[in-house]
Chain A
Amino acid sequence: METRVRSRACACVALLLFALRASLGHEHIKVQEEEETPEDVKWRSPEEEQGKFRTPEGEVRVQVSGRALVPGVRTQDWISNARVLLDGDAYVGFIREDGGFSVSDVPSGSYVLEISSPTYRFQPVRVDITATGKMRARVVDYIRTSAVTRLPYPLQMRCAGPHHYFIPRETWIWSDFLMNPMVLMMVLPLLIVVLLPKVMNSSDPEMKREMEQSMNMLNSNQDLPDVSEIVTRFFSPPKSHGRAGGGARATVGGAASVRGGAPRRRSKMNTAVTYSE
Chain B
Amino acid sequence: MAWLVVRLAISLSLLYTASAVFEDQVGKFDWREQFIGKVRFALFDTHSQASKKLLVATDKNVFASLNSRTGDLFWRHVDKTGPEGHIDALLMYGQDAVVVVGNGRLLRSWETTVGGLKWEAVLDTGSFQAAALIGVQDFVKYVAVLKKSAISLHDLSSGSQIWVENLPDSDTVQYQTIYSGGNGLVFVLGFVPSSHIVIVEYKIEDGEIMKKKSVEAAWMSSLENSCAVISSGNLLCVDQTTQSLYTLPLQSAEHTEMRQIHLQTLDLEVASGFQPVLTSTQPNPAQPPLAEFFLQLSPDHHILLQLKDDLIAPLRDFNPSYLAAFATSGEKTVAAVMTSKNDTACSINLFSADTGRRHLDTTIIYHMDPNGGKPNRLYVHAFLKKDDSVGYRVMVQTEDLTLTFLQQPGRVVWMREEALADVVTMEMVDLPLTGTQAELEGEFGKKADGLLPMVLKRLSSQFILLQAWMAHLWKLFYDARKPRSSVKNEVTIDTLSRDEFNLQKMMVMVTASGKLFGIDSKSGTVLWKQYLEDIKPDSIFKLIVQRTTAHFPHPPQCTLLIKDKDTGLGSLYVFNPIFGKKSHISVPALPRPVLQTLLLPVIDQDYAKVLLLIDDQYKVTAFPSTKNVLQQLQDTASSVFFYLVDSSQGKLSGFRLRMDLSTELIWEVVIPTEVQKIVAVKGKRANEHVHSQGRVMGDRSVLYKYLNPNLLAVITESTDIHQERSFVGIFLIDGVTGRIVHEAVQRKARGPVHFVHSENWLVYVYWNSKFRRNEFSVLELFEGAELYNSTVFSSLDRPHPPQVLQQSYIFPAPISTLEATLTEKGITSRHLLVGLPSGSILSLPKMFLDPRRPELISEQSREENLIPYAPEMPIRTEWFINYNQTVSRVRGIYTAPSGLESTCLVVVYGLDIYQTRVFPSKQFDVLKDDYDYVLISSVLFGLFFATMISKRLAEVKLLNRAWR
**Residues of chain A whose beta carbon lies under 8 Å from any beta carbon of chain B:** 50-51, 53, 63, 75-77, 79-81, 83, 85, 87-92, 94-97, 102, 104-105, 110, 112, 114, 116, 118-119, 121, 140, 142-143, 145, 163-170, 172
* B880 with A63: CB separation less than 8 A: no
Bound complex: CA A192 to CA B167 (Å): 101
* B75 with A164: CB separation less than 8 A: no
Chain A residue at minimum C-beta to C-beta distance from B111? A97
Q: Does B930 touch A at the CB level, under 8 Å?
A: yes
**Can you list 11 pairs linking A and B with CB atoms under 8 Å apart?**
A76-B116, A83-B77, A87-B814, A94-B117, A112-B814, A118-B839, A118-B885, A165-B21, A167-B17, A167-B20, A170-B930
Residues from chain A with Cβ under 8 Å of B76 in the complex: 81
* B80 with A92: CB separation less than 8 A: yes
Tier of interface size on chain B: 35 or more
* B871 with A95: CB separation less than 8 A: no
B64-118 with Cβ < 8 A to chain A? 75-81, 84-85, 102, 105-106, 108, 111, 114-118
Of the stretches B119-127, B240-248, B651-659, the one at the interface is: B119-127
Q: Which of A83, A164, A172 contacts B935 (CB 8 A)?
A: A172
Q: Which of B77, B122, B880 contacts A165 (CB 8 A)?
A: B880
* B877 with A63: CB separation less than 8 A: no
Bound complex: CA A95 to CA B119 (Å): 9
Q: Which of B77, B773, B814 contacts A88 (CB 8 A)?
A: B814
Q: Does B771 touch A at the CB level, under 8 Å?
A: yes
Q: Given A96-B117, A169-B24, are A81 and B877 neighbors across the interface (CB < 8 Å)?
A: no
* A81 with B75: CB separation less than 8 A: yes
Q: Does B688 touch A at the CB level, under 8 Å?
A: no
Max chain A C-beta neighbours (<10 A), residue from B81, B108, B810, B837: B837
Bound complex: CA A235 to CA B131 (Å): 101
Bound complex: CA A75 to CA B114 (Å): 10
Residues from chain B with Cβ under 8 Å of A88 in the complex: 814-816, 837
Q: Which of A51, A114, A145, A170 contacts B122 (CB 8 A)?
A: A51
* B116 with A80: CB separation less than 8 A: yes
* B810 with A143: CB separation less than 8 A: yes
* B105 with A95: CB separation less than 8 A: no
Residues from chain A with Cβ under 8 Å of B772 in the complex: 110, 145
Apart from A89-B80, A96-B119, list 8 A-B contacts with CB within 8 A: A85-B837, A92-B79, A92-B80, A105-B102, A114-B838, A143-B810, A166-B20, A166-B878
Q: Which of B16, B116, B122, B838 contacts A50 (CB 8 A)?
A: B122
Bound complex: CA A145 to CA B748 (Å): 15
Q: Does B889 touch A at the CB level, under 8 Å?
A: yes
Q: Does B812 touch A at the CB level, under 8 Å?
A: yes
Chain A residue at minimum C-beta to C-beta distance from B772? A110
Q: Which of A53, A95, A165 contacts B117 (CB 8 A)?
A: A95
Q: Does B963 touch A at the CB level, under 8 Å?
A: no
* B884 with A165: CB separation less than 8 A: yes
Q: Given A63-B122, A89-B81, A105-B105, are A116 and B839 neighbors across the interface (CB < 8 Å)?
A: yes
Bound complex: CA A112 to CA B837 (Å): 13
A198 to chain B, nearest CB (A): 18
Residues from chain A with Cβ under 8 Å of B810 in the complex: 142-143
* B23 with A166: CB separation less than 8 A: yes
Bound complex: CA A92 to CA B884 (Å): 20
Residues from chain A with Cβ under 8 Å of B930 in the complex: 169-170
Q: Mark B868-892, 1 if CB is under 8 A from A, else 0.
A: 0001100001101001111001000
B125-160 with Cβ < 8 A to chain A? 125
Residues from chain B with Cβ under 8 Å of A91 in the complex: 80
Q: Does B932 touch A at the CB level, under 8 Å?
A: yes
* B877 with A121: CB separation less than 8 A: yes
* A94 with B108: CB separation less than 8 A: yes
Bound complex: CA A94 to CA B63 (Å): 12
* B116 with A75: CB separation less than 8 A: yes
Q: Mark B485-512, 1 if CB is under 8 A from A, else 0.
A: 0000000000000000000000000000
Residues from chain A with Cβ under 8 Å of B117 in the complex: 79, 94-97
Q: Which of B120, B812, B884 contacts A118 (CB 8 A)?
A: B884
Q: Which of B20, B84, B119 contacts A105 (CB 8 A)?
A: B84
* B111 with A118: CB separation less than 8 A: no
Bound complex: CA A94 to CA B243 (Å): 49
Chain B residue at minimum C-beta to C-beta distance from A140? B812
B437 to chain A, nearest CB (A): 35
Residues from chain A with Cβ under 8 Å of B478 in the complex: none
Residues from chain A with Cβ under 8 Å of B120 in the complex: 94, 96, 102
Chain A residue at minimum C-beta to C-beta distance from B837? A88
Residues from chain A with Cβ under 8 Å of B106 in the complex: 104
Residues from chain B with Cβ under 8 Å of A83 in the complex: 77-78, 838
Q: Given A85-B838, A92-B85, are A143 and B871 neighbors across the interface (CB < 8 Å)?
A: yes
Bound complex: CA A121 to CA B886 (Å): 14
* A172 with B932: CB separation less than 8 A: yes
B417 to chain A, nearest CB (A): 22
Residues from chain A with Cβ under 8 Å of B118 in the complex: 96-97
Q: Given A116-B837, A145-B773, are A166 and B22 neighbors across the interface (CB < 8 Å)?
A: yes
Residues from chain A with Cβ under 8 Å of B20 in the complex: 166-167
* B871 with A119: CB separation less than 8 A: no
Residues from chain A with Cβ under 8 Å of B116 in the complex: 75-76, 79-80, 95-97
B785-841 with Cβ < 8 A to chain A? 810, 812, 814-816, 837-839
Q: Given A76-B116, A110-B772, A172-B935, are A166 and B814 neighbors across the interface (CB < 8 Å)?
A: no
B79 to chain A, nearest CB (A): 6
* A76 with B114: CB separation less than 8 A: yes
6 interchain residue pairs of minimum CB distance: A88-B814, A116-B838, A165-B883, A80-B115, A118-B884, A88-B837
Chain A residue at minimum C-beta to C-beta distance from B17? A167
Bound complex: CA A70 to CA B771 (Å): 31
B18 to chain A, nearest CB (A): 10
* B125 with A165: CB separation less than 8 A: no
Chain A residue at minimum C-beta to C-beta distance from B79? A92
B172 to chain A, nearest CB (A): 21
